[in-house]
Structure 1
Amino acid sequence: MVDVVDPRVVWAKSVLCEHGRVTHWLPLRQHLDDSGAVAARLVDEWLSKQVISRLAREVPGGHEGVRALVVWLARIHDVGKASPAFAVQVPVLADRMRHADIVAAPGLLTHPQRSRVRHELVGHLVVRDHVLAVCGPESRVIAEQLGSVVGSHHGVPPELTVLRSVAEYPELVGDGAWEQAWQFFLDRAAGDINLAAYSEKRLSRPVLSLLTAVVIIADWIASNSDLFPLLEAHEDPVEMDLTARAELGWKLLNLPHRWSALPVGSDVDGSFRARFRPEAAGARPVQQAAVEIAAGLERPGLVIIEAPMGVGKTEAALLAAEELAAKYGADGVFVALPTQATTDAMFSRVRRWLDALPGRDGAVSVTLAHGKASLNDEFDGLVRQGWFAATSRGDETPIVAHQWLRGRKKGVLASFVVGTIDQILFAGLKSRHLMLRHLALAGKVVVIDEVHAYDVYMSQYLQRVLHWLGAYGVPIVLLSATLPAQRRAELMAAYEHRAVPVEPELGYPVIVASGTRPRVLPLPKPDTRVQLDRLDDDLDTLVRFLRQHLADGGCAVVVRNTVGRVQETAARLEAEFGRDQVTVNHSRFLACDRARIDRDLLRRFGPGGERPVRHIVVASQVVEQSLDVDFDLMVTDLAPVDLVLQRVGRLHRHDRSRPTRVTSPRCAVVGVEDWTGTPVRAVAGSRRVYGEHLLLRSAALLSEQDTMTVPADIAPLVQRAYGPDPLGPDAWQPAMEQAAAEAQTRAQRRVEAARAFLLDEVGSTRHSLVGWVRAGVGDTDDDPRGVAQVRDGAESLEVLVVQSDGAGGLSTPDWIERGAGQPLPVDLPIEAAQAKVVAACALRLPIGMSHPGVDLDVITALEANHFPGFEASPLLRGQLVLVLDPDGSAIVKHGKADFRVVYSPSEGLIHERR
């Protein structure tokens, strides 16, 4: 029998100086008390009512039961630190424990299995056995479940085989005096928890995930020594004033309070004017209907808004989000978009909405969630102003970028998040700290824009995320200009955990919501009749067409499906019309140049733009989604019909006077080898991008009509394009059937590929978190590695572009708007402001330099550009660097053949293989 020991000397945290001497330490008892106190504050003041209500559906005792359980878990989460494997790591602190008869033999420090016996795993076993002992053998399931919360608090749920192997090393886990220590901490944590009420209880994985996330956050806050100071090395453990310590730590952290949303109410017109446009007559039909449907939902649900471009779907979604948040207790909104460009544009819109948002009791937190958020001036301005950054109005309820709610793991926990779709899709990816991503979404209303833009691979992740968010009871609003009926049915079925029905065509525009009848809305008036032309795919024909229709002036856009076709077309048109009358826009510009071009396009072709007399924009698909721009005339490569419609949405978009020959909207379709072919066949580049199947079906539809009426024709064309019925002449059918079979095979391969790291379905209530993310990807983020997991492979290689001065020095590019031609230190650290300039010079290399078989050679060649000054900067570290000569060119070695690249601020990057 071991004498009674003194567990107060069991240590939890230590700080060592550079010589290895302990300078500070914290007893385990104190850290657990701190964590419990923080957990109580999180429940009382920070967690959304929506999350608490979801937990209370399963946790005994309702709201108070949730609080008691969360506090108990936080107060025992590190009980496994009372183990020889952990304690022996700091000999001086282990000696102090040894004097209190809690002995960790010094020889264990070199035990070959010590690193495997991690404290969270010991804690899992301790808590599991404790619950079994208190509640009896019928509590086996709940004991394993609660143990798994403790075992997962480092972000990775344990594996069953690992837990079994840990139990095989009692000398590292501990017994005797160690068991007394465990009991001390468990008894101390008992508080308000009634474990007997859990004896036959089963919790679902969503609830276990949320509980774990709250414990992780409580642990992180309590581990911040600026908020909860450590003892100096010589100090003995003493009873601290826990209330005062927790009060001070929480006050210093100063997390923004919950947003308490208010219902929009019946005066939707007034709410619309107050939030968005004071001068407007009132809300549009789609906005009125979205609020009414949200208010009428009997339970949290999925709302899908399908409506034409330019009718105010974003405002409809934000108003509906307010109504849903008020109804179900969400304390924030997550708005997700396809690209960083669309996300940056949306951030400004959401922030203006927040300025007018009612229900704020103090500051509300906001974040921009994508890999280059620091390059967004508006968001970076909030960050640079400190922990709290006020709005431009300087009122008492500011929008804040809170310093603690930053970084790839914590940023999405802010109340209001605008981010790329990847940040949503990561919630369906087996990865470290997945439960934090789930908590970040579980307390919000989620709005996902441009749902039609996500391909087969990404859709597997989107549907799995909808499946989990449905289990959490998260209200969701999906937006699209066009959705195939079956795709709509798949999204709704994923959220509602049911089989996919055969979906009939419902009409258009339409709002579909869980548990309600579809609401078909009147088409916006007036209809726009667009004249369709089918032109040969040669530049002479294009030039003649543009000369004819722009003879009296006007602004045209030529949309190409590949950057190579953009550049080839732009070169010819510049020769014909002059460089001052042609603007080029595509994805192969420096990030800062692309932003400059986008701003210029909005200035000239946006609402109220300063339009030139005659101008031609030659662009890739970037004009489909990113920009609210308007043209008099359009030429587009053949694309899937829904994308053609998106492009046509940039034609006569705004009310304005136009030159005589372009007073009526006109779109010429090009990019086919021969319009008289059997069948019509798109050019090779387009087939590589979109595949043969959808292009053939689009060609069949566009070949049979000379006009298109928008928005009346949007739904019929999309449903026919993606429906099961044959299209086109009989002579086309053999080719179309073969293309359809090939597309089905490719789609199935992509579905299978997506399953590699796809999170399992919610599952039964018998499962703990053990093995939840088995064989996952580890840490992930909105970087090339993370994006590759949810976007069907890595994007093309990204580089940072700098210039050589010809004498061994480096500088920023000499043409950029801000920071041009600045000398860059090669060996000394780059200052933060200058590092931001360099980071804004990011560039995507062509696929021809990035595909397998080429990429490794290109990476090797670029890694030769290694500069210590870059590696010393957190913003630039690990990035590939492309060094251009003073004339803007470079040679990139690749085996026996080299790539020559030339960069122009007006044309972007051009490459050739030599």
Structure 2
Amino acid sequence: MRAYTEAVERLAEVKGFRPEKRPLLEEAFDFLTSSSKPFLILNAPTGYGKTLLSFALALHSLNDASLFDRVIHVLPMRSIIEDIQRTAEEAFGFSRTKMMGSSGEFMHLFPLNVTTADTFTWDLLKLNTKKKHSVKAGKEFGYDYLTQASILTSLVIFDEAHFLLEDESLATAFDTVVDFLTSQGVPVAVMTATLPRGHVKFFERYAMKNGYDFKVLSPDEDDPFVRRELEKDITIEFGKGDPLSFVEPGKRNAVIVNTVERAVELYNRAISDTRFGFERERVILIHGRMTPSHKRSIITRLQRLKNEDFLLIGTQAVEAGVDFSADVMITDRAPINSLLQRFGRLARHAGDEAGKAMVMEDAPVGPYQPEKVEGTLTRIKERDIHPRVPSTYEELVTEVHGPQASSVKKLVNQMLKGKLLQLMSDPSKRASHVLGEVERLVAKGTPIMRGFLVPLSVGSEVVLVSPKKLFELHSLGLVKVRGVVSELQELGDAYLVARAIALGDDVEVIYTGDYDGERGIV
């Protein structure tokens, strides 16, 4: 446990908090460093400090590499990666990020490697898309075997795994990844705050098939964290109409909505109408179409106001990766897992005593499945849940997302999975073979991974946008495209650009408009 203790001390020093005992994390650390073939599910609420486990395990690997040489921390969203990387650099100085738009090229050779699910899958497929031209020209293989080997000798941690299992565009790739990793005996840990029984069964099936020590850990009511949280008065109410009408001046407020457009509209009204009771510098907007440096400056601003009144208006980008505590949260309706992530920002810190959530029943559902949204609202009204005490909401999560492993399996394209699994596992399939097969699949319009997002260059930084948003911005004369096509005549052209970028083609997409230092790309 020496590495665990050292990790706690370093984080406490950098973050400025008094360490609180976390029996669940200690048990998880002990299991992952003592079992010869561990598969762990850590089901702990938001704010529990699950990321500490990755830091502690990375420190452990520096002194004892008998079970794993390093840690790879896989996340579904870039926004969370930026927060973890910042903390890792400040406290330990031994991590590296790898994701679309990052400039560095490397294998997973650092004690702690933080990456997105998409990039991790490409690496497991032995394809470094940045080396695509050299691979296609037959000049090199782009680290193919070496990159995959650096994964197979690591401990892999999937953080916020529910995002990967519930996203139809990611489900097939993620199922393939879990199948392959467990067939190779790679130590695996899954961390999430919201895991229905169907997802547990999904992981357990692969663990049992390949002879793992399988364990599920969740805090009980004797856990110090749970005892503290149960003392807080957190209420959940429902309302209709204008979200800003529920804001309470003099308190820390957060308004979380389902689209960027809705967030910007609310922000514009909040800063122009004195009736809402906030000085302009205390009204903060954050969403996914902002540059990394812009988001960092906003988070710094928010942290300076942590004990003062403010009005934060944001999108799903706030659900994870933005550490703040609110007294009042007004949120658009959403599925239970998203609501729990949002509620996790209520009275989040030690010393906070109460929090109130207001769910807008008539809000647009945005990108979510309407049946899951409606199922969530119906059930949440019928029971008393506490957003940071898993025993109060686990059954509700299962009811909304499905009790059987088949709830995941039905999202998986078995034909695509078979091809991806063969490319991963067949040693005769090198990077050039993988690239050829992937190009054929993409040419047919097969979505291998998440929706072919487009890295939009804004100065020296990158903002990821959807092909639909790219087409909209291009239609407004705010974007230039170099390579593949120069003019986007229809939405299909934007998808063509996105697919070419996903395959590593020499394509540049440049934002030519004036970047809004308050609102980002809107």
In structure 1, C-alpha distance between the alignment counterparts of 2:479 and 2:354, rounded to whole Å? 52
The Cα shift of 1:558 comes to 0.2
Does structure 1 residue 664 correspond to structure 2 residue 293? no
Q: 2:12 aligns with which of 259, 277, 290?
A: 277
What amino acid sits opposite 1:718 in the alignment? Answer: V
Give SS of 1:336's match: strand
In structure 2, C-alpha distance between the alignment counterparts of 1:567 and 1:598, rounded to whole Å? 17
Q: Which residue of 1 aligns with 2:456?
A: 799
Does structure 1 residue 777 correspond to structure 2 residue 435? yes
What amino acid sits opposite 1:465 in the alignment? Answer: V
Whether the 8 Å contact between 2:347 and 2:355 is mirrored in structure 1 is yes
Percent of matched pairs sharing the same residue: 19
Structure-2-length-normalised TM-score: 0.77
Whether the 8 Å contact between 1:697 and 1:721 is mirrored in structure 2 is yes
In structure 1, C-alpha distance between the alignment counterparts of 2:11 and 2:158, rounded to whole Å? 20
| Paired residues for 1:360-439 under 5 Å | 366-374=95-103, 407=105, 410-429=106-125, 431=127, 434-439=144-149
Say how many residue pairs are matched.
467
- Write the deviation string for residues 447-486 of structure 1: whole angstroms up to 9, x where unpaired: 2211122123323222322222223322122211121111
| Paired residues for 1:852-867 under 5 Å | 862-863=480-481
The Cα shift of 1:592 comes to 2.8
Q: 1:694 aligns with which of 360, 372, 385?
A: 372
Give SS of 1:525's match: helix
Q: Which residue of 2 aligns with 1:303?
A: 40
Whether the 8 Å contact between 2:24 and 2:219 is mirrored in structure 1 is yes
- Relative to structure 1, the CA distance from residue 572 to residue 491 in structure 2 (aligned partners, 3 Å threshold; closer, same or farther) is same
Give SS of 1:486's match: helix
In structure 2, C-alpha distance between the alignment counterparts of 1:861 and 1:327, rounded to whole Å? 48
The Cα shift of 1:437 comes to 2.6
The Cα shift of 1:323 comes to 5.7
Q: Which residue of 2 aligns with 1:261?
A: none
Q: 1:722 aligns with which of 389, 397, 401?
A: 401
In structure 2, C-alpha distance between the alignment counterparts of 1:317 and 1:486, rounded to whole Å? 25
Q: 2:236 aligns with which of 524, 532, 550?
A: 532
- Relative to structure 1, the CA distance from residue 600 to residue 751 in structure 2 (aligned partners, 3 Å threshold; closer, same or farther) is farther
What amino acid sits opposite 1:710 in the alignment? Answer: R
Give SS of 1:349's match: helix
Q: Which residue of 2 aligns with 1:907?
A: 519
- Relative to structure 1, the CA distance from residue 329 to residue 859 in structure 2 (aligned partners, 3 Å threshold; closer, same or farther) is farther
- Relative to structure 1, the CA distance from residue 845 to residue 453 in structure 2 (aligned partners, 3 Å threshold; closer, same or farther) is closer
- Relative to structure 1, the CA distance from residue 757 to residue 882 in structure 2 (aligned partners, 3 Å threshold; closer, same or farther) is farther
Whether the 8 Å contact between 1:529 and 1:707 is mirrored in structure 2 is no
Give SS of 2:213's match: coil
What amino acid sits opposite 1:450 in the alignment? Answer: E
In structure 2, C-alpha distance between the alignment counterparts of 1:571 and 1:883, rounded to whole Å? 23
- Write the deviation string for residues 159-203 of structure 1: whole angstroms up to 9, x where unpaired: xxxxxxxxxxxxxxxxxxxxxxxxxxxxxxxxxxxxxxxxxxxxx
Q: Which residue of 2 aligns with 1:598?
A: 299
| Paired residues for 1:167-178 under 5 Å | none
The Cα shift of 1:438 comes to 1.6
The Cα shift of 1:415 comes to 4.5
The Cα shift of 1:562 comes to 0.5
| Paired residues for 1:735-750 under 5 Å | 748=410
Does structure 1 residue 849 correspond to structure 2 residue 438? no
- Relative to structure 1, the CA distance from residue 271 to residue 906 in structure 2 (aligned partners, 3 Å threshold; closer, same or farther) is closer
Q: 1:471 aligns with which of 165, 178, 183?
A: 183
Give SS of 1:667's match: strand
- Write the deviation string for residues 189-232 of structure 1: whole angstroms up to 9, x where unpaired: xxxxxxxxxxxxxxxxxxxxxxxxxxxxxxxxxxxxxxxxxxxx
Q: Which residue of 1 aligns with 2:326?
A: 631
- Relative to structure 1, the CA distance from residue 561 to residue 273 in structure 2 (aligned partners, 3 Å threshold; closer, same or farther) is closer
Q: Which residue of 2 aligns with 1:287?
A: 25
Q: Which residue of 2 aligns with 1:522?
A: 220
The Cα shift of 1:883 comes to 2.3
Whether the 8 Å contact between 2:423 and 2:434 is mirrored in structure 1 is no
Whether the 8 Å contact between 1:286 and 1:316 is mirrored in structure 2 is no
- Relative to structure 1, the CA distance from residue 583 to residue 771 in structure 2 (aligned partners, 3 Å threshold; closer, same or farther) is closer
Does structure 1 residue 881 correspond to structure 2 residue 510? yes
What amino acid sits opposite 1:645 in the alignment? Answer: L
Q: 1:443 aligns with which of 150, 153, 160?
A: 153
Q: Which residue of 1 aligns with 2:420?
A: 758
Q: Which residue of 2 aligns with 1:459?
A: 171
Give SS of 2:56's match: helix
Consecutive unaligned residues in structure 2, runs of 5 or more: 128-140, 487-505
Whether the 8 Å contact between 2:57 and 2:71 is mirrored in structure 1 is no
- Write the deviation string for residues 139-176 of structure 1: whole angstroms up to 9, x where unpaired: xxxxxxxxxxxxxxxxxxxxxxxxxxxxxxxxxxxxxx
In structure 1, C-alpha distance between the alignment counterparts of 2:6 and 2:110, rounded to whole Å? 25
Q: 2:262 aligns with which of 538, 561, 565?
A: 565
Does structure 1 residue 589 correspond to structure 2 residue 290? yes
In structure 1, C-alpha distance between the alignment counterparts of 2:293 and 2:195, rounded to whole Å? 33
The Cα shift of 1:790 comes to 4.9
In structure 2, C-alpha distance between the alignment counterparts of 1:560 and 1:413, rounded to whole Å? 39
Q: Which residue of 1 aligns with 2:51?
A: 314
Whether the 8 Å contact between 2:152 and 2:186 is mirrored in structure 1 is yes
Give SS of 2:254's match: strand
In structure 2, C-alpha distance between the alignment counterparts of 1:646 and 1:349, rounded to whole Å? 20
What amino acid sits opposite 2:50 in the alignment? Answer: K
Q: Which residue of 1 aligns with 2:381?
A: 703
The Cα shift of 1:424 comes to 2.0
- Write the deviation string for residues 674-711 of structure 1: whole angstroms up to 9, x where unpaired: xxxxxxxx62xx2x501122112112112334764631
Does structure 1 residue 621 correspond to structure 2 residue 350? no
Whether the 8 Å contact between 2:95 and 2:112 is mirrored in structure 1 is yes
Give SS of 1:628's match: coil
Give SS of 1:777's match: helix
- Relative to structure 1, the CA distance from residue 273 to residue 534 in structure 2 (aligned partners, 3 Å threshold; closer, same or farther) is closer
The Cα shift of 1:419 comes to 1.9
The Cα shift of 1:616 comes to 0.8
In structure 2, C-alpha distance between the alignment counterparts of 1:789 and 1:473, rounded to whole Å? 28
Consecutive unaligned residues in structure 1, runs of 5 or more: 1-263, 356-364, 375-405, 499-512, 606-610, 658-662, 674-681, 726-742, 802-837, 867-876, 889-902
Give the number of the structure whose alpha-carbon radius of gyration is greater: 1
Give SS of 1:572's match: helix
The Cα shift of 1:347 comes to 2.0
Q: Which residue of 2 aligns with 1:212?
A: none
Whether the 8 Å contact between 2:38 and 2:214 is mirrored in structure 1 is no
Whether the 8 Å contact between 1:303 and 1:514 is mirrored in structure 2 is no
- Relative to structure 1, the CA distance from residue 282 to residue 779 in structure 2 (aligned partners, 3 Å threshold; closer, same or farther) is farther
Whether the 8 Å contact between 1:452 and 1:483 is mirrored in structure 2 is yes
Structure-1-length-normalised TM-score: 0.46
- Write the deviation string for residues 387-434 of structure 1: whole angstroms up to 9, x where unpaired: xxxxxxxxxxxxxxxxxxx62xx4334443222222322245474654
The Cα shift of 1:336 comes to 2.0
Give SS of 1:313's match: coil
Give SS of 1:652's match: coil
Whether the 8 Å contact between 1:588 and 1:845 is mirrored in structure 2 is yes
Whether the 8 Å contact between 1:301 and 1:470 is mirrored in structure 2 is no
Whether the 8 Å contact between 2:125 and 2:423 is mirrored in structure 1 is no
What amino acid sits opposite 2:435 in the alignment? Answer: V
Q: 2:460 aligns with which of 824, 829, 839?
A: 839
What amino acid sits opposite 2:195 in the alignment? Answer: L
Q: 2:271 aligns with which of 553, 559, 574?
A: 574
- Write the deviation string for residues 108-167 of structure 1: whole angstroms up to 9, x where unpaired: xxxxxxxxxxxxxxxxxxxxxxxxxxxxxxxxxxxxxxxxxxxxxxxxxxxxxxxxxxxx
What amino acid sits opposite 2:427 in the alignment? Answer: L
- Write the deviation string for residues 743-798 of structure 1: whole angstroms up to 9, x where unpaired: 98x985763585385223987xxxx6345779633599xxx99xx96533212x44
In structure 2, C-alpha distance between the alignment counterparts of 1:330 and 1:295, rounded to whole Å? 9
In structure 2, C-alpha distance between the alignment counterparts of 1:845 and 1:468, rounded to whole Å? 30
